Amino acid sequence: MSPGHVPLPQPESARPLPPEEFARWYGPWDPLTPDSIAGFLEGFDRPWWIVGGWALENATGVSRSHEDMDVSIAHHDAEALRVFLAERGWTTWNADSGWLRPFDERFREIRSDSGIWVRADARSPWVLDVPLTRFNGDRWTNKRLPSQEYDLDEVTWVAEDALRYLNPEVVLLMKAAQVRDKDIVDAEATLGFLDERQRAWLRGTIVHLDPTHPWAA
């Protein structure tokens, strides 16, 4: 194990850690919200967009609880984000398959489909989770189906709060990879808000990935 690597505990069946166990290992979350994220990233001159639960809530208006704040950027902008946050006193960490390590001048090489966690220091709570999105040039690439490429405007939208969000059908596709209880709740709350084009895209992509998937219907 290289210096600086912190192995993530691998619980039986790889189930997510409950909040209290997560906090014991890594510290608590005090996440940003859509009301505070714009100020936090003010001056960062690369595209970013909100994904996950906040994207669904903004698209549907259906309130839900939020464990964190997820914002995505293009994988080739990871270094720019690291420098931007470091200059403002924040530390960045690279979360990848089974481990967590500092993402700083010592460890600058990270995989294009990993993520960045952000906090002030080791004694402070996490405030932001940044899953990276692979781009082919300036084209957004579907991490679950890399043959799908789109302009960013095709898979995101700008809401009344002037923030950019991932389309709800794309959020549900990402959630279909795990189908946790909360993902099922999100799907049930969101599907009724999708138009036929969005539903057809979601259905077709899921069937392409796995015709036996419970959401294929």
59 found inside a domain: yes
17 found inside a domain: yes
- Report the domain count for the chain: 1
Bridging pattern class, strands 71-74 and 149-150: unpaired
The CATH number assigned to the domain holding 155 equals 3.30.460
Domain residue limits at 148: 6-167
pLDDT in tens, the chain (217 residues): 344 444 444 444 445 677 788 888 888 999 999 999 999 999 999 999 999 999 999 999 999 999 999 999 999 999 999 999 999 999 999 999 878 899 999 888 899 999 999 999 999 999 999 999 999 999 999 999 999 999 999 999 999 999 999 999 999 999 999 999 999 999 999 999 999 999 999 999 999 999 999 998 8
174 found inside a domain: no
189 found inside a domain: no
Buried b (16+ CB within 10 A) or exposed e, 72-105: bbbbebbeebbebbeeeebbbbbbeeeebbbbee
38 found inside a domain: yes
| Residue 168, token pair as written in the block | 């709800």
- Global pTM value: 0.90
